[in-house]
Structure 1
Amino acid sequence: MCSPSATFAVWSSAWLNGAAASDDVLDSLKAWGEAHDVVAADAGAAEAFDLPLAFNRPATPVQLLVALRAQGVTSVQLVLPAPGDVRGLGGGGPFTETALRAGEAVVLPGIGYGLVPEPIAEGLVRWTVFSVKTQTPLEYIGLGDAEHGMTDAIRSSAGALQALNVASDRPGVRAELSARLRAVTDVEWPAGTPPRALRVLQRAEEVAAILAIARTDEPGGALSASAAVQRADALRPLSDAVRHARAASVNEAVRVFSEQADRTP
């Protein structure tokens, strides 16, 4: 479900707070690629994390985990940016540009660094660590607010699409939806991940599959350019709601693991 950044955020937080083993973190990443490596985008990140710069021989995820521990990191944050919404990335610069291109990032609050994963070859994902000059905390979204946001967005998007006459039933839609859901990457989550966060995340994946179908033309029924733009505008609030729900679910799990560690005698 969701993304490599989401997987890393939850599993690394579980490990950093004593709820998972380092091998569990490494195994979880295999859902996104058989191999993962790590480089630094700039000299500051290279020095702080003892990582090679890009175009040198990359480090391993094990070295990244060691560096996180050495930096005293206990909590991370998932950011799922989109054009026009770069909250949590700390403004412009290479980190923001790369995170926007990937549509995801992991932020290390309080120490001024962020990570972005990108597939660079078949089965290989590269994680790049960036220095972030200015970090503004991502606004907290509760799970209840995330659920309500999706419900409201579904309602408003459905109404807008009906008004545009592009929301008619299409043959085989249930089979298409089932196929899309089966194609979603299956990721295991650490023991202790809050069940409600997983339920909201599952709901977000279901809505994302519906959204993907709504974005495609019906067979033999191509839309005009203006109608396509109107449809995209109608669906944008739903896409935003899915992003927010995914981030809220993952960051709630991160918060729970951090608080569990704080309560450990």
Structure 2
Amino acid sequence: MAMASATLTIWATAWLNGKAAADDVLDALTTLADRHDVVAADETTAAETELPVAGKYPAPLARLLAALRTRGADAGSLALPAPGDPRGLGGSGALVGAALNAGEASVFAAAGLALVPDSPADDVVRWTVYPHSGDAGEHVGISEAEQALTEAIRASAATLADLDVARERPDAHDALRVRLRRAPSPRWPDGMPGRALRVLQRADEIAAILELAAADEPGGAVSASAARHRANALRPLDTAVRQARRAAVGEAVRLLAQPVTRP
């Protein structure tokens, strides 16, 4: 659900900076799921945000937007943690564990909050609000991330070719097209930078290829050792995809958070 946190981060930032209406945020998120619910992870966070605690009847997404503004949020960031790589997160073990399980989070450091999505039912996204340390985390430049993605693609392809474990799949291109076509296509706010869109699209395409590769284990590997080498070859590509997505969202946030200049 990486697209869920990316979509909320970008649209909420646009709204917080007067670049979008609240209804625009809600409409954009309904392209991902018809219903979005919100709960707080603990009693303290519930009291501070005036949101229901987990286990109680959830609040609508509009209440989350109000809580972000009340707590002084100005811009968000995307966290895409993986085991051994919790970059972009700061806070309790509960937050880190939930974000690792989801593979994503939307962080609003100035508000001291992080939002983790999960899907308790079909066409429902539930956002759980956790306290965050307020550390904005490292900045990932979009040029650096785009270059790293290109280099990871080359390195992974060369390694797999050397290992001779990339099994020929006659249906691979069709499967990839189907996977990309089925992925939700969120709307983006006016002012969304074209470069960020291009990097997000490229990262999505590579992520779809990685998902197909994972579903095709052992991918033509003739031994357990070769399968391990194959997994090791793909791991840097997964890291580069996550970094590219974070950088693309960061670039969009940077531009959307700039003050509106009046003539």
Q: TM-score range by the shorter chain?
A: over 0.9
- Secondary structure, counterpart of 2:176 in structure 1: helix
- Secondary structure, counterpart of 1:84 in structure 2: coil
Change beyond 3 A, Cα 1:41–1:230: same
Q: 1:108: which partner in 2?
A: 108
Query: Shift of the alpha carbon at 1:176?
Result: 2.1
- Secondary structure, counterpart of 2:111 in structure 1: coil
Partners of 1:150 and 1:241 within 8 A in 2: yes
- Secondary structure, counterpart of 2:140 in structure 1: coil
| Aligned pairs, number | 263
- Secondary structure, counterpart of 2:5 in structure 1: helix
Partners of 2:197 and 2:248 within 8 A in 1: yes
Q: Distance in 2 between matches of 1:118 and 1:228?
A: 31
Partners of 1:79 and 1:247 within 8 A in 2: yes
Query: Shift of the alpha carbon at 1:215?
Result: 3.1
Change beyond 3 A, Cα 1:76–1:224: same
Give 1:87's aligned amino acid. Answer: R
Change beyond 3 A, Cα 1:214–1:48: same
Partners of 1:45 and 1:130 within 8 A in 2: yes
Alignment of 1:80-159 (within 5 A): 80-90=80-90, 92-132=92-132, 134-159=133-158
Q: Distance in 2 between matches of 1:204 and 1:220?
A: 21
Q: Distance in 2 between matches of 1:34 and 1:110?
A: 29
RMSD: 2.0
Change beyond 3 A, Cα 1:159–1:14: same
Give 1:3's aligned amino acid. Answer: M
Cα deviation, 1:106-164, whole Å, max 9, x if unaligned, reads 111133221101101111111111112x3433221111111111110011101111121
- Secondary structure, counterpart of 2:257 in structure 1: helix
Q: 2:184: which partner in 1?
A: 185
The percentage of counterpart residues that share the same residue type is 52
Do residues 258 (structure 1) and 241 (structure 2) align? no
Q: Distance in 2 between matches of 1:166 and 1:220?
A: 6
Query: Shift of the alpha carbon at 1:44?
Result: 2.3
Cα deviation, 1:59-105, whole Å, max 9, x if unaligned, reads 11111111111112111111110111001211551000000000000
Q: Distance in 2 between matches of 1:220 and 1:90?
A: 36
Q: Distance in 1 between matches of 2:217 and 2:195?
A: 35
Cα deviation, 1:195-224, whole Å, max 9, x if unaligned, reads 110011111111112222333438995753
Partners of 1:115 and 1:130 within 8 A in 2: yes
Do residues 69 (structure 1) and 69 (structure 2) align? yes
Give 1:76's aligned amino acid. Answer: G
Change beyond 3 A, Cα 1:107–1:153: same
Partners of 2:167 and 2:219 within 8 A in 1: no
Partners of 1:88 and 1:135 within 8 A in 2: no
Unaligned residue ranges in structure 1 (runs of 5+): none
- Secondary structure, counterpart of 1:106 in structure 2: strand
Partners of 1:9 and 1:106 within 8 A in 2: yes
What TM-score results when the alignment is normalised by the length of structure 1?
Answer: 0.92
Return 169-178 or 199-208, whichever deviates more: 169-178
Q: 1:205: which partner in 2?
A: 204
Q: Distance in 1 between matches of 2:113 and 2:43?
A: 12
Partners of 1:2 and 1:205 within 8 A in 2: no
Partners of 1:177 and 1:213 within 8 A in 2: yes
Give 1:74's aligned amino acid. Answer: D
Give 1:246's aligned amino acid. Answer: R
Partners of 1:162 and 1:168 within 8 A in 2: no
Cα deviation, 1:16-50, whole Å, max 9, x if unaligned, reads 11111101111111122111111111122112210
Q: 1:24: which partner in 2?
A: 24
Unaligned residue ranges in structure 2 (runs of 5+): none
Q: Distance in 2 between matches of 1:82 and 1:252?
A: 22
